[in-house]
Structure 1
């Protein structure tokens, strides 16, 4: 940076992802902006970790680890305070307490009233939105993208799987490593990636911090060897395959040739990775390796170690420096080529006019104050006609599906209130309307104990096309010879209302019922049509 290179021209290439994480942590702690697979991952965003920790406490208040993590992140992320021994002792006290109430009281004292009783009952999206606003997380402009991606995640999950908080946390633990945001365009930051992902790319400055990977098969890697001599198998039915760890002991077995081939392939793959890493820079390359282990003296009859293929990249680099007479046991750095401080002229693209407006707050009105959500919306509401009377008739129609006998009216009304289909204030009106139907002089018999009733029962008759239509109520008389089909309709009566019942009545006659009666009951007017 002191030589004039910009952060976005620098790339750090690692062989493994865990090495990339270590480098990212090292640079981030020292204040450098970075772009990496992990830096774009939701699981490494502190604002997201704070939300998840609060989720865990709301889901399992006894989770001491979640309490401690939430308190730590509130101090560090929201309040901008570094941990102190005094605060750490306070966190431990609150986290290990028998009740979670002191935890929420502590947040209230800090100015963040979570209102745990109400907040814990919100849906996933509303809960996330509420916590973001409560803790002012949108003020962390650099992490706004993570917040909006997490909001999208909660919305997508709730639409697909529901709002169960415990299930969402399980889903998060399983998927968090694969959830990320898109890389911000034009950001001046150091790129941290793997050598494999850097293929085909070029950077002004490349740093390879772990240039010491193995050029031999890793210990524990298995070799699936093909056995040529099948006569020596313990069982004739066994496949001619041997699965063994890749060690030099295989050189003294029939699998020696295959083992040697695997060793050569691994060596070439390691060299290929080294070639990719060392050919990515345009101007400067920095490779950081380790001093190879001392080579043991060769025993009598053995080839010198220097004649064997290098086992690691560090050993390969050491051999190069030795062969060019540059190696010195006391020297820590080597300059193989020097551009004498040359830095290419920066070509800055014309800066586009910014039309972005900063978002500093996510204003949200509690949904229960502006909207009433109810299950089975298509069943309960008539979206084509939002008239109050028609809405009531649809609710009544749905309730009658559950009422087998008049004595069950109170129980069904209570169930609908508990499920949110009907409010407590609407219960009395629902009971009145249900009693109108079940106690109607011409309908009371069909809700009495003397008959058996089924709601929307389907009949399948061989050789007959399946009917999509099902009557609202089918009543069987005790004699077993008579059945009554009932449909509930909205007035006025129309000829088309009779046709489905007549076709369905024909199916019952095919089943052997001699007396099949059809009844149409019209809401509002309480008119009954029997045919």
Structure 2
């Protein structure tokens, strides 16, 4: 670990970078050693009020970093607010500590300084904020029908009072305290439905999916639309299974984390062929491409004879054998021509050759994939190799998106659903473990010396340890029990978040035969529902509250009219003629003067430059666009660098790119937008720079003054204007 730490430190020193996770720790080191940390001297004067939302997902380190700001604000008589719910703490993997809000709410400040009892600065800060602490409970639930509220109150009261549960998680009564029960508001809606389905049988995924489809059909019959229904899953892999299965059943789905581009076989076929084009000797990519070709295009699995032919063709070093194998099925791709095409053209050619747009379920994926390819080609690189590297890095996070107003079922994780609401909520796989898994590890703090075999000892501060029951009999037993408690509570909180999402109907789907004592959510539900069930074959349905057989509240809704594009028509780019629409950027159309032509080229290149480091990229981009010739590169570069280094101009190209706006349009009341060439936001002023070619004119100054007046009208007091004549490298201040 020390060697790894050294390697990371060397990389940071070489690149001048620091990992973002280091900032909190470094600030913490300063905060804990100074009475008034210098890093907050300016912030403390700038912000009067501080609001911390989702406080239950805040770490102690983050809170202690905020504490000086909160203390300063309170000392100046300002109001501060921390909002959170310990029962919704489900981000422990990101450092969230639910104990923080529990102890602060109970005004148990001693528990917040454990490990820092001798730090006078921290003790003083807590002492100064204590008089201002005012815990308040927001207990009224305005979201759900009264039957759902009652069910949640009763269920979690039952779980809280279980002796076994309190033995596992002693902090449970503090999290689900006397204030946890949600109050039912006056005139609340009634008719809510709560149902727990305990299923038995083989095939967990099939059981969950079939019952989910049944519930969706029941909800539609009761007057709900697809867009009223949400399926929430504990694990992303379960969400993917449900989402893909619903798509196969021709049910529209909205999902941000279940429909990655990488899960489309049509997209994977396109990518595999791109890999072959980039490296014809890549045997693995050839096999992947051919077998996907059979599955997606030919819609069959290769037989024994096919496999023999495939093997001979792919392992032949002549890549033409690979393409001939495809040609025998009536599809024609030419290796040489593909290698000459631009990135987007390659993707488009593959999709059109194999008629992939005819695969209805892959349409969304293919359109999104083409968008990704086009964006990469436009903004980053036209090289296939670069795109393949980008794809390997991003393929698991790129997904299709669907309009929010579309009539589609939402399928997402419980984490993503936090803070949202849906009329109908279905929770399949509602039997997740509440215990640490067999593969879980903890970073254990060890005693100063650890006994080894043969009476040897070793010093080690921390080490990762596999969690097993044997740890309960060691010196780190307290850490072991603490980890078990946190895991139990987080799993319980996950259930709480899921059960508080619905407004009208709640369905829990549990596989009955996965219970293992009190270690699963399913077991907790089964214990609570310990009364006669309605047996329906292999289903045991516990209807906690029978809702109305229709939608609780009908509203006049207007569905968006969704027009689905079935394909993209395109032609061979080599057979088309391109017309340059911006000829004036290449040469002066009026006079054909060489000097103005040269100035126009510099002007166009400057539009692509935000800082001096962008010069080479801007010139290369201009060459690719055909605006300048390669033979002009060195001369243009020298002149551009010379202009940028002018005394008045250089500071305007030495700022961060985020403070520069090139050719950003300003919409005017007349409808005709204005577009200054360059606007730079400095520390104390705005500077507007306009490039000009040709001879001077009073109209140039009038134009810049107009820009300056507009920015003053926006609230910027100190605005400067500059005219830069490119051919003569002359700077003119505009007053």
Which category describes the TM-score, using the shorter chain as reference length? 0.5 to 0.7
1:20 to 224, 239, 251: 239
Aligned to 1:249: 470
Change (3 A) 1:60 1:388: farther
Change (3 A) 1:162 1:421: closer
Give the secondary structure class of the aligned counterpart of 1:333. strand
Change (3 A) 1:68 1:214: same
Gaps of 5+ in 2: 1-215, 599-622, 632-637, 639-646, 651-735
Give the secondary structure class of the aligned counterpart of 2:524. helix
- Confirm whether residue 44 of structure 1 aligns to residue 263 of structure 2: yes
Give the secondary structure class of the aligned counterpart of 1:94. helix
- Confirm whether residue 197 of structure 1 aligns to residue 422 of structure 2: no
Give the secondary structure class of the aligned counterpart of 1:178. coil
Aligned residue pairs total 383
- Confirm whether residue 101 of structure 1 aligns to residue 295 of structure 2: no
Give the secondary structure class of the aligned counterpart of 2:508. strand
Gaps of 5+ in 1: 296-309, 374-380, 395-418, 423-429, 431-455, 457-464, 469-531
Q: Matches of 1:187 and 1:239 in 2, distance apart? A: 57
Shift of 1:257: 2.6
The answer on whether the counterparts of 2:275 and 2:388 sit within 8 Å (CA) in structure 1 is yes
Q: Matches of 1:337 and 1:211 in 2, distance apart? A: 16
Shift of 1:333: 1.3
Give the secondary structure class of the aligned counterpart of 2:568. coil
Q: What's the CA shift string for 1:168-224, capped at 9, x where partnerless?
A: 223212211111232233333332211111222233333322222221222343333
Give the secondary structure class of the aligned counterpart of 1:335. strand
Q: Matches of 1:352 and 1:11 in 2, distance apart? A: 19
The answer on whether the counterparts of 1:41 and 1:180 sit within 8 Å (CA) in structure 2 is yes
The answer on whether the counterparts of 2:253 and 2:409 sit within 8 Å (CA) in structure 1 is yes
Change (3 A) 1:346 1:56: farther
Aligned to 2:540: 333
Q: Larger Cα Rg: Structure 1 or Structure 2?
A: 1
Change (3 A) 1:147 1:339: same
Shift of 1:313: 1.7
The answer on whether the counterparts of 1:129 and 1:364 sit within 8 Å (CA) in structure 2 is no
- Confirm whether residue 315 of structure 1 aligns to residue 493 of structure 2: no
Aligned to 2:387: 168
- Confirm whether residue 118 of structure 1 aligns to residue 328 of structure 2: no
- Confirm whether residue 290 of structure 1 aligns to residue 497 of structure 2: no
Aligned to 1:262: 483
State the Cα RMSD in Å. Answer: 4.8
- Confirm whether residue 11 of structure 1 aligns to residue 230 of structure 2: yes
Change (3 A) 1:141 1:184: farther
- Confirm whether residue 277 of structure 1 aligns to residue 498 of structure 2: yes
Q: Matches of 1:142 and 1:219 in 2, distance apart? A: 38
Aligned to 1:179: 398
Change (3 A) 1:390 1:46: farther
Aligned to 2:300: 83
Shift of 1:17: 1.2
Change (3 A) 1:264 1:112: same
Shift of 1:55: 0.9
Q: What's the CA shift string for 1:204-249, capped at 9, x where partnerless?
A: 333322222221222343333445x658899999575454333333
The answer on whether the counterparts of 1:34 and 1:189 sit within 8 Å (CA) in structure 2 is yes
Change (3 A) 1:89 1:61: farther
Shift of 1:367: 4.6
Give the secondary structure class of the aligned counterpart of 2:370. helix
The answer on whether the counterparts of 1:13 and 1:206 sit within 8 Å (CA) in structure 2 is yes
Q: Name whichever of 177-186 and 31-40 sits farther off.
A: 31-40
Q: Matches of 1:272 and 1:318 in 2, distance apart? A: 18
Q: How does 1:391-406 map to 2 (within 5 A)?
A: none
Q: Matches of 2:241 and 2:283 in 1, distance apart? A: 28
Q: Matches of 1:389 and 1:75 in 2, distance apart? A: 60
Q: Matches of 1:53 and 1:29 in 2, distance apart? A: 24
Q: Matches of 1:135 and 1:279 in 2, distance apart? A: 47
Q: What's the CA shift string for 1:61-111, capped at 9, x where partnerless?
A: 34455445444545554x5x531555x743662354124434423544544
- Confirm whether residue 350 of structure 1 aligns to residue 558 of structure 2: yes
Give the secondary structure class of the aligned counterpart of 1:177. coil
The answer on whether the counterparts of 1:318 and 1:327 sit within 8 Å (CA) in structure 2 is no
The answer on whether the counterparts of 1:40 and 1:183 sit within 8 Å (CA) in structure 2 is no
Q: Matches of 1:47 and 1:139 in 2, distance apart? A: 11
Aligned to 1:526: none
Give the secondary structure class of the aligned counterpart of 1:43. helix
- Confirm whether residue 370 of structure 1 aligns to residue 580 of structure 2: no
Q: How does 1:198-217 map to 2 (within 5 A)?
A: 198-217=417-436
The answer on whether the counterparts of 1:221 and 1:246 sit within 8 Å (CA) in structure 2 is yes
Change (3 A) 1:367 1:311: same
Change (3 A) 1:360 1:166: closer
Shift of 1:341: 6.4
